[in-house]
């Protein structure tokens, strides 16, 4: 049931999405007309609305991903298509101990936190106090702060944690952090790095290949949406052609057995 203070995702007839918080006496205006938010109070999620100019909307219950993707973004964010791959390829699960750098907008932090909870933890480093402060507010509002330790610091200089399950780097020079990541990971721990350019990937793969990692893989994901309508079905005309390359590797050790 939608209540005063509830968050609602408004999906308009033209497929626009607005995340609003329900307050009495507030009109929410869009290019497709307005609705009075107070009218939502007491209604079920999924209620159908008609704006003052006749546009049909739905008042959806936002998923945590909906909310996260609407967070203010001081920095470039990770795209939804890549988030699932990071979670599964990174073996990030309830209970995992994960380090992430940089915190940036906190979007990836929030997603990871929502998958390691209730028993796991995310250590999230950023060099910018301002980004950390912004992320703290967002995570707090999302109820995810208990699962996150925000740390001001530079992972290319120092990582304090040990025995981590996964380290996710979303920084410009991941190759400079490889030795620190090695020390911080548990045996069998997983390294993931996100980089937009191919030169960053080459540097990173070079560094991990000579610093105690194996099973190194770099992928890119392309997501295509379809317009499905009987008799008129086709892929949509435009798609995102690139976001980041995702490189994964596993920590290995050096004591050798020969036969």
Closest CA to 8 of 55, 32, 43, 53: 43
Alpha carbon distance 207, 199 (integer Å): 12
119's tokens: 């028993």
Q: Is 3 one of the binding residues for a copy of itself (CB under 8 A)?
A: no
Instruction: Determine the angle formed by the axes of helices 80-89 and 107-116, rounding to 10 degrees.
Output: 40
Binding mask 130-169 for a copy of itself (x = CB under 8 A): ----------------------------------------
Question: By C-beta, is 157 or 239 nearer to a copy of itself?
Answer: 239
Alpha carbon distance 108, 86 (integer Å): 9
Alpha carbon distance 121, 115 (integer Å): 10
- Least Å distance, CB 35 to a copy of itself, is 6
- Least Å distance, CB 129 to a copy of itself, is 28
Alpha carbon distance 193, 93 (integer Å): 18
Closest CA to 135 of 160, 161, 166, 112: 112
Of residues 91-110, those binding a copy of itself (CB under 8 A): 91, 93-95
Q: Is 190 one of the binding residues for a copy of itself (CB under 8 A)?
A: yes
Candidates 103, 109, 156, 247; binder of a copy of itself (CB under 8 A) is 247
- Least Å distance, CB 243 to a copy of itself, is 8
| Alpha-helix residue ranges (DSSP H) falling in 3-97 | 64-69, 80-89
What are the residues whose beta carbons fall under 8 Å from the beta carbon of 232, sequence distance 6 or more?
A: none
- Residue 175 contacts residue 216 (beta carbons within 8 Å): no
Stretch that binds a copy of itself, among 32-40, 99-107, 132-140, 171-179 (CB under 8 A): 32-40
Question: By C-beta, is 125 or 175 nearer to a copy of itself?
Answer: 175
Stretch that binds a copy of itself, among 76-84, 100-108, 149-157, 170-178 (CB under 8 A): 76-84
Candidates 22, 83, 101, 132; binder of a copy of itself (CB under 8 A) is 83
Of residues 209-238, those binding a copy of itself (CB under 8 A): 214-226, 228-238
């Amino acid at each position: 049931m939608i209540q005063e203070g509830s968050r609602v995702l408004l999906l308009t007839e033209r497929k626009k999405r607005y995340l609003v918080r329900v307050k009495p006496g507030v009109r929410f205006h869009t290019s497709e007309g307005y609705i009075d938010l107070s009218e939502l109070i007491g209604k079920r999620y999924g209620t159908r609305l008609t704006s003052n100019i006749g546009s049909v909307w739905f008042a959806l219950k936002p998923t945590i991903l909906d909310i996260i993707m609407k967070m203010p973004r001081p920095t470039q964010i990770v795209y939804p298509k890549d988030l699932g791959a990071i979670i599964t390829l990174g073996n990030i699960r309830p209970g995992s101990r994960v380090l992430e750098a940089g915190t940036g907008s906190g979007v990836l932090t929030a997603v990871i936190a929502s998958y390691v909870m209730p028993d796991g933890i995310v250590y999230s480093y950023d060099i910018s106090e301002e980004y950390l402060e912004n992320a703290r507010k967002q995570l707090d509002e999302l109820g995810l702060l208990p699962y996150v330790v925000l740390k001001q610091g530079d992972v290319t200089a120092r990582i304090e944690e040990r025995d981590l399950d996964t380290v996710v780097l979303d920084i410009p020079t991941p190759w400079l952090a490889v030795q620190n990541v090695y020390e911080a990971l548990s045996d069998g721990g997983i390294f993931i790095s996100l980089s937009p350019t191919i030169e960053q990937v080459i540097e990173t793969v070079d560094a991990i290949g000579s610093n105690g990692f194996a099973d190194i893989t770099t992928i890119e994901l392309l997501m295509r949406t379809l317009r499905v309508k009987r008799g008129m079905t086709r892929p949509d005309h435009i798609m995102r052609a690139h976001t980041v390359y995702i490189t994964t590797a596993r920590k290995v050790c050096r004591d050798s057995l020969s036969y």
